[in-house]
Amino acid sequence: MAVAICGVNKREKDMDIKDRVIVVTGAASGIGRSLVKIFYKHGAKHVVSADVNMDGISKVAKEYGGTAMECDVSREGDIAKVIRTTEREIGPISIFCSNAGIGHLGGIEVPNDDWQKIWEINLMSHVWAARHLVPLMEKRGEGYLLNTASAAGLLSQVGDASYSTTKHAAIGLGEWLAFSYAKKGIKVSMLCPQGVRTAMTDGLDPELAVAMKDGMLEPDDVAEECVKTINEERFLVLPHPVVEKYIQYKTSDYDGWLAGMAKLNERFRY
């Protein structure tokens, strides 16, 4: 049942984690591992941990439960296989967390092969997951996509052109999916944190990393924020609330924002 408020349908009961079948890519460590842990904490029925690191996801599945499936998200066939196997052997996927991602410091000089790799992992993996899963969710009239982007997808990242570009593209795809399937029962959330203690941030100097200037969060805290956002069916997951203020400033004074980013670039460039 839904209640119409100012012409917009508001669901009385939003998405609940309890008793859901969930897939998490990039689950061997960091945010992905924490998502598996937190989903079970909130009563998930079964979580599939997917990653290229079989040793890592085997440990995750052993510690928290569920199934480990090898998956290289830069290959559409691997993603399709995880979806197909889960649907056939475990049950209908209610929530798919397209979480795997990589970074590559550098600008326009980064080689084409590296640009292509980060493009496939940070953007096309989301496209492929949606391509193979959304039609199934559409038939069921329900489904949820949680795609990991970054605050860099909303604001850009000093010192990393390919990361900023692909994360912006991921946000654009998420927006398109959200409004294109809004009437089909499919919801979308985009995870956009700043600094999180993961393998991607290991070894970065806090004095030189702009993403750390508003503080580093633990992966478990980010995962809890994801659950909260899914329950409320909101689009942006902002574990660092200050990001919302940065977005508002950017859209209110684009030139002023660019000038500020230029100063950050001089201060934090690698």
Active site residues per annotation? 150, 163, 167
C-alpha–C-alpha distance, residues 22 and 14, integer Å: 16
Mean pLDDT of 151-158: 93
Q: What is the CATH number of the domain that holds 133?
A: 3.40.50.720
DSSP, collapsed to helix, strand or coil, labels residue 198 as coil
C-alpha–C-alpha distance, residues 231 and 34, integer Å: 17
Task: Tell me if 96 is assigned to some domain.
Answer: yes
Whether the per-residue pLDDT at 11 is higher than 50: the answer is no
Task: Tell me if 204 is assigned to some domain.
Answer: yes
Angle between the N-to-C axes of helices 30-41 and 219-232, in degrees from 0 to 180, rounded to the nearest 10? 60
Task: Tell me if 263 is assigned to some domain.
Answer: yes
Tokens of residue 52, six digits = 């290229």
Quote the number of domains for the chain. Answer: 1
For residue 201, name the pLDDT band (cuts at 50, 70, 90). Answer: low
Whether the per-residue pLDDT at 126 is higher than 70: the answer is yes
Task: Tell me if 10 is assigned to some domain.
Answer: no
Which tens digits make up the pLDDT trace of 209-243?
555 566 778 999 999 999 999 999 999 999 999 99
Residues 6+ apart with CB under 8 A from 13: none
Question: pTM for the complete prediction?
Answer: 0.88
Which tens digits make up the pLDDT trace of 52-70?
999 999 999 999 999 999 9
Residue 203 burial (CB < 10 Å; 0-12/13-18/19+)?
Answer: exposed
C-alpha–C-alpha distance, residues 12 and 206, integer Å: 44
How many other C-beta atoms can be found within 10 angstroms of the C-beta atom of residue 239? 24
For residue 154, name the pLDDT band (cuts at 50, 70, 90). Answer: very high
Range list of β-strands (E), 110-234? 143-148, 186-191
Q: What residue numbers bound the domain in which 100 lies?
A: 15-268
Q: What is the pLDDT of residue 246?
A: 94
Task: Tell me if 150 is assigned to some domain.
Answer: yes
Task: Tell me if 112 is assigned to some domain.
Answer: yes
Task: Tell me if 3 is assigned to some domain.
Answer: no
Task: Tell me if 228 is assigned to some domain.
Answer: yes
